[in-house]
Amino acid sequence: MRKLFRQLALAMIICMGLATFAWAGKPIKTLLITGQNNHNWPVSHVVLEKILENSGLFEVDLAVSPAKGEDMSGFVLDFEPYQLVVLDYNGDAWPKETRDRFLAYAEQGGGIVVYHAADNAFADWPEYNRICALGGWENRDEKAGPYVYWQGGALVRDDSPGVGGSHGKQHQYVLNGRKMDHPVTAGLPEHWLHGQDELYDRMRGPGNIKDLLYTAYSEKSTGGSGREEPLIFTVDYGKARIFHTMLGHAGETVENSPAMQCVGFQVTLLRGAEWAATGRVTQSVPSDFPTEHQSTARKDYR
């Protein structure tokens, strides 16, 4: 009888363990907003979805807006079911109801990823610009906030007049770690070579960066600013956890997108997304992560 009891007890423990594991491993419910962009959104949103879902950590729903210039009044989104919102959008204004719901989601502690040209969007929406911390183009100038860059071991906020947002020619460049004890960066190399990509510079905005994770030097020889530019960081915005990456310019096709195929881009995106959704990172550092002198790629986004 005691043997049977021990067997039953063991079976119950195993079942409870399996149930706990199944719950703990439930994918992070994610909303990916796309549909308009000055970049190649038909490629970028497909790649983002592949990267996120292939990791096994995320379950992605798409919110695809009407085409530019079409009626946006029906583009009303419900953010409540989601642990994470990924922004791949730069286009016409959202309806007021969607804007209000998005701000409520952020203020209540939602997880947000600002990806690449999403920081170009909504130059005339102050709260969105605070969610991004830095942005560019769309007629931004000194009224949008200071230039923000890294100099002398600290972030500089420069009120000089001038346009916000530029980049030189696409090229490989080294990312330089600035906070290596953050959950997103812990265990990653302090310096690593990124695949061919745009290097955003002269970005302006409220500048409410919380944790600066990686910068890169924008070489004048490639048409850049000659400054060390913040490219990956978290944002200080109430209870929200916001991860902003300026990396990842979409190529002509899913199969030919060097910036998004870079392992460094994919891994930092996944780690930043998990952190934004949960406040922690459970992923190990892959053996094929780039080094300071060698970039690496996963062309199948796995």
* pLDDT tens digits along 121-154: 999 999 999 999 999 999 999 999 999 999 999 9
Task: State the pTM of this model.
Answer: 0.91
* Stretch 9-27: mean pLDDT: 44
The alpha carbon of residue 115 and the mean position of all alpha carbons in its chain are separated, in whole angstroms, by 4
Count each helix (H run) and each strand (E run) in the chain, helices first.
6, 11
Write the CB contacts of 290 (distance below 8 Å, at least 6 apart in sequence).
189, 192, 193, 194, 262, 263, 264, 296
76/6: higher pLDDT: 76
pLDDT at 95 over 50: yes
* Statement: residue 23 has pLDDT above 70: no
Domains, the chain, ordered by start: 30-278 (3.40.50.880)
Q: Can you give the pLDDT at residue 13?
A: 35
Q: Which pLDDT band, with edges at 50, 70 and 90, does 21 fall under?
A: very low
Select from 66, 109, 68 the least CA-distant residue to 85: 109
Q: 72-95 in b/e burial notation, b at 16+ Cβ within 10 A?
A: beebebebeebbbbbbbbbbbebb
**Parallel, antiparallel or unpaired: strands 154-158 and 171-177:** unpaired
pLDDT of residue 25: 76
Whether 2 has a pLDDT exceeding 80, the answer reads no
What confidence category does residue 15 fall into, taking pLDDT thresholds of 50, 70 and 90?
very low
Euclidean distance between CA atoms 102 and 81, whole angstroms: 12
Check whether 61 has a pLDDT greater than 60. Answer: yes
pLDDT number for residue 106? 99
| Token pair belonging to 205 | 């905005």
Q: Judging by beta carbons within 10 Å of its beta carbon (0-12, 13-18, 19+), is residue 103 exposed, middle or buried?
A: buried
CB 234 within 8 A of CB 243: yes
Where on the phi/psi map is residue 70: left (φ > 0), alpha (ψ -120 to 50), or beta?
A: beta
- For 53, the enclosing helix (H) or strand (E) is helix 41-54
For the segment 265-293, what is each residue's pLDDT rounded down to a tens digit? 999 999 999 999 999 999 999 999 999 99
Decide if pLDDT at 1 tops 80: no
- Asked if pLDDT for residue 175 goes beyond 50, the answer is yes
Does pLDDT of 196 surpass 60? yes
Find residue 242's DSSP bridge partners. 112, 235
Residue 144, token pair as written in the block: 């949008």
**Looking at the predicted structure, is the pLDDT value of residue 299 above 80?**
yes
Mean of per-residue pLDDT scores for the chain? 94
- N-term to C-term CA, the chain: 51
